Amino acid sequence: MYGTWSALSALNAVGEDMQAPYIRKAVEWLKSRQRFDGGWGEDGASYWDNQKDFCKASTPSQTSWALLGLMATGDVDDDSVKRGVEYLIKAPRTGPKWDEEYYNAVGFPKVFYLRYHGYSVFFPIWALSRYRNLRDSNSKTTPYGI
């Protein structure tokens, strides 16, 4: 999710056509990975070739990355974005921090994984504020996709 969001934001930043087939393919990939609860998630098993479904559970961080990627392409009003926002709004949290028990970063694939504790504070707030700002504006994209 992180890499797809980063790439889509960079493509927006350099002025690529967000309707280009290769960008729409990335959008469709993100949408295809959305879970039944509206969120997105990935765990370390996705690095093994035989792992078909790499989503054991949705996480606030990865849901945020998927949302930021979709919003970078102008898909703010898409149902998948609305479902992702609802997931974040309803997800359990303690104060400003969303509960996130799974590792959210790769140290070395198949070897060790990391947990950045700030991710579950920073990224959901960013995604929700981006959603609000784009939804309430006259434009459905932002300059530079960030």
- CATH T-level topology, domain 2-139: Glycosyltransferase (1.50.10)
Amino acid code (one letter) for 43: D
Lowest mean pLDDT among 22-26, 58-62, 116-120, 134-138: 134-138
DSSP 133: H
- Is the whole-model pTM more than 0.75? yes
Closest CA to 26 of 39, 35, 17: 17
Span 40-63, average pLDDT = 77
Q: Which of 132, 131, 35, 39 lies closest to 91 in space, CA to CA?
A: 39
Q: State the first-to-last Cα distance of the chain, in angstroms, to the nearest integer.
A: 15
Q: Which of 126, 60, 56 is nearest to 99 (CA)?
A: 60
